[in-house]
């Protein structure tokens, strides 16, 4: 459970985290590009890891490929969905130069149904070394992610509920 812009509780552990640079926003008020993390309870979907940087065995994580992207163009039919690059519309590249997406779980935010403009690419991923704010995601240190990976299952939820 994300309890503040800097705290994530997992069982009896409290981990340092970071959230969107714009702070938190009610899920219904989330908008594309607002840099805010939506409040709510989200499933963690099957995700990816960078096989050239991380060696993992986890049933919900698959090796990432260089051509993977995520569509962030509200008018595109693939909005808030994984895509193969190059893609005609605006997309985020998942294979990044930095380590932020070396381990990446998409969340169920704005998925059932996908509403154009209500936010895309809300991920659970690795924090930058300085823990600077994200574009709306929740991020933690690589060592913390590796420590909690055994606890992440298809039934896991990322609960964002600031106190």
- Mean pLDDT computed over 45-49: 97
Question: Is residue 19 over pLDDT 90?
Answer: yes
Give start and end residues of each alpha helix (H) in the chain: 142-148
* Residue 163, pLDDT score: 87
- Mean pLDDT computed over 127-150: 98
Rounded distance between C-alpha atoms, residue 143 and residue 6, angstroms: 16
Mind listing the pLDDT tens digit for each residue in 61-116?
999 999 999 999 999 999 999 999 999 999 999 999 999 999 999 999 999 999 99
What is the band of 134 on the pLDDT scale with cuts at 50, 70, 90?
A: very high
* Residue 105, pLDDT score: 98
Is residue 16 a contact partner of residue 3, using CB atoms and an 8 Å limit? no
Non-local CB neighbours of 4 within 8 Å, separated by 6+ positions: 162, 163
Quick one: what percent of the chain has pLDDT higher than 90? 99
Average pLDDT, the chain: 97
* Residue 96, pLDDT score: 98
Question: Is residue 126 over pLDDT 90?
Answer: yes
- Mean pLDDT computed over 35-40: 98
Domain boundaries 2-160, corresponding CATH code: 2.40.440
Label residue 141 left, alpha or beta by phi (over 0 means left) and psi (-120 to 50 means alpha).
beta
Q: What are the residue boundaries of the structural domains of the chain, listed by start? A: 2-160
């Amino acid at each position: 459970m994300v309890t503040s812009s800097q705290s994530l509780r997992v069982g009896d552990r409290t981990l340092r985290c970071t959230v969107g640079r714009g702070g938190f926003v009610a899920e219904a008020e989330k908008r594309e590009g607002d840099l805010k993390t939506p409040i709510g309870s989200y499933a963690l979907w099957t995700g990816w890891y960078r096989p050239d940087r991380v060696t993992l065995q986890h049933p919900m994580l698959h090796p990432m490929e260089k051509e993977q992207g995520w569509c962030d163009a509200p008018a595109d039919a693939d909005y808030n969905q994984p895509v193969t690059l190059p893609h005609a519309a605006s997309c985020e590249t998942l294979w990044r130069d930095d380590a932020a997406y070396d381990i990446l779980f998409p969340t169920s935010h704005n998925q059932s149904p996908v509403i154009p403009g209500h936010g895309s690419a809300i991920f659970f991923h690795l924090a930058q070394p300085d823990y600077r704010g994200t574009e709306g995601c929740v991020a933690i240190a690589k060592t913390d992610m590796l420590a909690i990976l055994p606890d992440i299952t298809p039934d896991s939820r990322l609960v964002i509920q600031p106190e």
